[in-house]
Amino acid sequence: MEPTATFSEYSVKTPMAKPRILVSYFFGPRTIPLGEFCAQGFEAAGCEVFRFSSQLSHPLEDYGFKWLGKLARGLRLPDTYFREGHPWNNARYRERCLEAAIARFRPDILFVIRGNSVSGEFLKRMKRQYAVRHTLGWWVKDPRPNDTQLTDDCRLYDHYFCIHRHGYTQADPIHYLPALGLEQRPARPPATAPKDEKALGIVLVGGWSRRRDAYVRELLDLPLTIVGPGWKKRGRLEPVHWHHVAASQLWGDEVAALYRRARIVLNVSSWDPAALTGLNLRICDVPALGAFLLTDEAAELADFVEPGREVATFTTPADLRAKALYYLEHSDEREAIARAGLLRAATTMPTYTDKMAEILNFLGERPNTAASKTWANA
């Protein structure tokens, strides 16, 4: 299979009765909602869906293997020395739980988000023993230089998708499938809107990383609110600046409410999207809330929004500071960009129903509903 082909270039079989799909990812109120959005998208496309939480953890992981990992480090052995291959380790425990779910639900399609979480032998056995027709993996991790895990794991599945274009070539059986999308499109903004006085200045939601740290240091004398883990750890943000850190975690509606209160929602990717490609979920999430997004520049942005008109962009830390100062002062321009972004979200941004229908169309497992436009190009 050529990774450069679009989904629509593959033949589509006759629509069938409701396909049964097991989605494996994080599920719960305090998790990234990507898995739930995908499950809802498949259901909206006419499928039966089973949600399997891949966050399951064997009791020994917390009360045994963590201590053994410390012992291994003390002996100058790899952290996983005692865990690797053990029948009670987390990987094997999760596979046993996943097999029980497959045996009970009997899915036609196994869709594993974070596709490296199960073994190739396990996938082969599920197809052979439980008649799973398609195994799908979706790599949703950040791009990393010199990381071969992606190209190793892609060969374990019938079809494999990746949220970025970094680290693989046309020789690898990988399809580019960005994770960006909306749970549902927002209402179109009214023709005129009252001036909205925002209570907060700049808001950044995201855990500490070296790259984010370098950009944030340009803003520490400005009205900045940070939400995310790791910022107060030793050797990172100095205690004198801890007042900027409002919380280590917020989820769901709490994050949405925070974005709506901000004059500027700042998105600094933990990796360099100009060099490594890939976009995070804020590119769609923030405009869909009617909030103003200031994000790092990346070529792929133009696939989803119009930079300069629907979102604002920056390149270097110094450029970020200049743009932040400008948009804090120029509320009319800021609000015009936010309204244009909201209009884009209300009209043409992809939804997860679009994405999941397109996957079904690609597989030939489409129920009796027409798939939406093709948007996933490798």
Q: Average the pLDDT over 150-164 and give the result.
A: 90
Per-residue confidence (pLDDT) for residue 8, from 0 to 100? 38
Q: Are residues 120 and 86 in the same domain?
A: yes
Q: Are residues 135 and 236 in the same domain?
A: no
Q: Are residues 35 and 158 in the same domain?
A: yes
Per-residue confidence (pLDDT) for residue 83, from 0 to 100? 57
The CATH number of residue 211's host domain is 3.40.50.2000
Q: Are residues 252 and 154 in the same domain?
A: no
pTM over 0.85: no
Q: Are residues 108 and 248 in the same domain?
A: no
Average pLDDT value for the chain: 85
Q: Are residues 58 and 87 in the same domain?
A: yes
Per-residue confidence (pLDDT) for residue 285, from 0 to 100? 95
Report yes or no: 195 and 263 within 8 Å, Cβ to Cβ. Answer: no
Tell me the residue ranges of DSSP E strands in 261-300. Answer: 262-267, 293-296
Is 36 within the bounds of a domain?
Answer: yes
Is 192 within the bounds of a domain?
Answer: no
- Residue ranges in the chain assigned as alpha helix (H): 34-44, 59-60, 66-74, 90-105, 120-130, 149-153, 210-216, 253-260, 273-276, 282-288, 317-329, 331-347, 352-363
CA distance 226 to 203: 6
Report yes or no: 323 and 157 within 8 Å, Cβ to Cβ. Answer: no
Domain residue limits at 70: 7-181+351-363
Q: Are residues 48 and 147 in the same domain?
A: yes
pLDDT tens per residue across span 61-118: 666 656 666 666 776 766 554 556 556 677 788 888 999 999 999 999 999 998 667 8
Give per-residue burial for 141-164: e unless 16+ CB within 10 Å, then b. ebbeeeeeebbebbebbbbbbbbb
More confident position, 291 or 280: 291
Q: Are residues 219 and 305 in the same domain?
A: yes
